[in-house]
Amino acid sequence: MKALSILVLTLAAAASHAAAAIGIGVVGGGGGTPDPQPISATVYATDEVTFNGTVTNGADLVEIDITTPGNEEVATLTAYPDADGNFSVIWFPPVDSTYTVQAETYLNGTELSKQTIGFVSAIRPDAAGHITGGGWYDYPNGKDTMGFVAQVLSNGSIKGNFEFQDHEGLMNFKSTSLDWVYAPTCTDGYFTGYCKLNGSGNYRFFVHVVDNGEPGTSDSVDFSVYDPNSGALLFSYSKTFSHGNVQIHCK
């Protein structure tokens, strides 16, 4: 089996955190080259993680598979190497956990190599901030609506709620509790908690909102829902409001 060479794993952080670059050597084995030990890295759950690498086995496609400790798939990232074999993919850690990262290479649909390249631990910054918002996204035959309040009180406790309704798909996610709020800037805000789907179950959710100005100029919401035990991704959503407003209350 030919080798896949991933030269650098770059952790490109959000605005309030520094970036890190970690070299992980040759992955995939073959040609008498031993596989390196998987790297370990720690990032914040609010960080944008960029994987940069280079393939040396002529692959025309690279998949980066990210799984939970329970081996549940969180994300599959696809990249097409350029003429020099370089590629780049971006991942946003959903919740605080330790994730296994694997790289697979393909040529014309045939797998060439598969290798565990590292373990990424996502941790949460200390809670702080106050976020409110609501609005809707229009579809040709319906709309999605949502509203939320997420705040860290003066005594350090978390207060708030979140509700999302997909009127076309007949899905209603409604929070039962919030356990973390983080607003590092006047533009980006994050909060997490637990919710029910259509009034039943117990699910973990993660929300990232962007306040692009007042009153609600191109504000956006990204959120994901996970199995709280396995970490498996159950639902994801990313839209810019058709109408509405996100407000991050900066001091």
105 and 43 belong to one structural domain: yes
102 and 14 belong to one structural domain: yes
145 and 182 belong to one structural domain: yes
Q: What is the C-alpha separation between 198 and 55, in angstroms, rounded?
A: 45
61 and 19 belong to one structural domain: yes
153 and 136 belong to one structural domain: yes
**Nearest in space to 8 (alpha carbons), one of 23, 27, 26, 19:** 23
State the total domains in the chain. Answer: 2
116 and 155 belong to one structural domain: no
Cβ proximity of 148 and 133 under 8 Å: yes
95 and 57 belong to one structural domain: yes
State the pLDDT at residue 19.
45
Q: Which pTM does this prediction carry?
A: 0.73
61 and 105 belong to one structural domain: yes
State the pLDDT at residue 132.
96
CATH number at 93 reads: 2.60.40.10
197 and 142 belong to one structural domain: yes
Question: Where among 85, 105, 123 does a domain terminate?
Answer: 123
Successive 10-residue mean pLDDT values, the chain, 251 residues: 42 41 47 62 82 83 89 88 86 83 92 88 90 90 92 95 90 96 92 96 94 82 87 87 91 68
State the pLDDT at residue 142.
83
State the pLDDT at residue 168.
80
138 and 118 belong to one structural domain: no
DSSP state of 170: T
Residue 231: which domain range? 130-248
State the pLDDT at residue 22.
46
Question: Where among 60, 91, 123 does a domain terminate?
Answer: 123
State the pLDDT at residue 228.
85
10 and 105 belong to one structural domain: yes
State the pLDDT at residue 73.
85
Burial of 153-169, coded b for 16+ CB within 10 Å and e otherwise, reads eeeeebebebebbbeee
Question: Where among 123, 154, 169 does a domain terminate?
Answer: 123
Q: What is the C-alpha separation between 180 and 169, in angstroms, rounded?
A: 28
Max Cα–Cα distance, the chain, nearest Å:
61
141 and 237 belong to one structural domain: yes
